[in-house]
């Protein structure tokens, strides 16, 4: 691990699977445990496209970051539920466009904290910081010194909720949490999000959700109408809410993916 001393001080909760570590395993990482690998392999048995889906989620994040930095002039980013560092990370993507970009990463998995050093390799003109926090604890997250010292909450911020809201099973709670964060951001900020759905393979994804639950992880898949509610009051950027691989793809390869292999909607919207 990147910081074995730090990881020894925290409870890594290795008795249950965690979405960030399942994601890490599927993407070929080594920062996961037997329970995470078991959950991932059990999911692959019922849905072999899991790797395709998770890679599509990662590349959506890359496209969203570049779009916000290049096309929208965003220079501050708040990445909630960042997961275990996987290159290129968000700051590497946006600082390639604008070296002065600032990024705050947050996650509630202690293993991510143990690897936070990998998220601090900022370009000299910019800055990165890490906050260990649950997204449900909005007020404490926004008050964290690391965040306040890195981001100016009076200037537009790119809020990244990539593959995270499906870990809040209650619809009202998930909406309330995301809205409290958006409400705290100034006009001209953007929300980029991917939201889990079973619209395109309902029977298969129901089995996937069962596997996650059996291994101690939560999952709530939402319809297009339910996903759209996360962007209420915001101005959707074209092409609006679509399957994430269809949001401004970089190449035709994304468009050739089978719809049943992609279980997330993606969108970017501006706060007026």
Q: Enter the pTM of the model.
A: 0.90
Please report, for the chain, the start and end positions of each structural domain, with discontinuous segments joined by +.
4-270
Q: What is the pLDDT of residue 26?
A: 84
Sign, CA torsion 157/160/164/169: positive
How far, rounded to the nearest angstrom, does the alpha carbon of residue 8 sit from its chain's CA centroid? 26
For residue 175, count CB atoms less than 10 angstroms from its CB and return exposed for 0-12, middle for 13-18, buried for 19 or more. middle
Q: Which of 107, 131, 104, 88 is nearest to 21 (CA)?
A: 107
List the pLDDT tens digit at each of the 272 positions of the chain: 333 333 345 555 677 888 778 888 888 888 888 999 998 999 999 999 999 999 999 999 999 999 999 999 999 999 999 888 788 999 999 999 999 999 999 998 777 777 776 666 777 889 999 999 889 999 999 999 999 999 999 999 999 999 999 999 999 999 999 999 999 999 999 999 999 999 999 999 999 999 989 988 889 999 999 999 999 999 999 999 999 999 999 876 667 899 999 999 999 999 99
Options 3.40.50.150, 1.10.1060.10, 3.40.50.920, 3.50.50.60; CATH for 4-270 is 3.40.50.150
Task: Give pLDDT, residue 114.
Answer: 74
Which among 162, 232, 225, 169 is positioned nearest to 199, based on CA atoms?
A: 225
């Amino acid at each position: 691990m990147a910081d074995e001393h730090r990881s020894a001080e925290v409870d890594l909760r290795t008795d249950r699977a965690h979405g960030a570590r399942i994601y890490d395993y599927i993407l070929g990482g080594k920062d996961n445990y037997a329970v995470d690998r078991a959950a991932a392999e059990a999911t692959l048995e019922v849905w072999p496209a899991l790797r395709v889906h998770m890679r599509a989620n990662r590349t959506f994040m890359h496209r969203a970051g570049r779009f916000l930095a290049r096309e929208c002039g965003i220079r501050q980013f708040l990445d909630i539920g960042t997961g275990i560092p996987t290159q290129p990370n968000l700051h590497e993507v946006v600082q390639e466009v604008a070296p002065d970009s600032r990024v705050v990463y947050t996650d509630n998995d202690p293993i991510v904290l143990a690897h936070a050093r990998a998220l601090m390799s900022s370009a000299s003109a910019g800055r990165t910081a890490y906050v260990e926090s649950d997204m449900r604890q909005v007020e404490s997250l926004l008050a964290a010194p690391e965040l306040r010292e890195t981001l100016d909450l009076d200037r537009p911020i790119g809020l990244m909720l990539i593959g995270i809201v499906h870990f809040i099973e209650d619809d009202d709670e998930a909406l309330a949490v995301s809205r409290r964060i958006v409400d705290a951001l100034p006009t001209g900020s953007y929300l980029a999000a991917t939201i889990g759905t079973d619209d395109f393979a309902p029977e298969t994804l129901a089995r996937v959700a069962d596997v996650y639950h059996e291994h101690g992880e939560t999952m709530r898949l939402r319809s297009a109408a339910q996903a759209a509610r996360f962007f209420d009051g915001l101005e959707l950027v074209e092409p609006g809410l679509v399957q994430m691989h269809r949001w401004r793809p970089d190449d035709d390869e994304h468009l050739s993916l089978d719809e049943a292999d992609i279980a997330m909607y993606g969108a970017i919207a501006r706060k007026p």
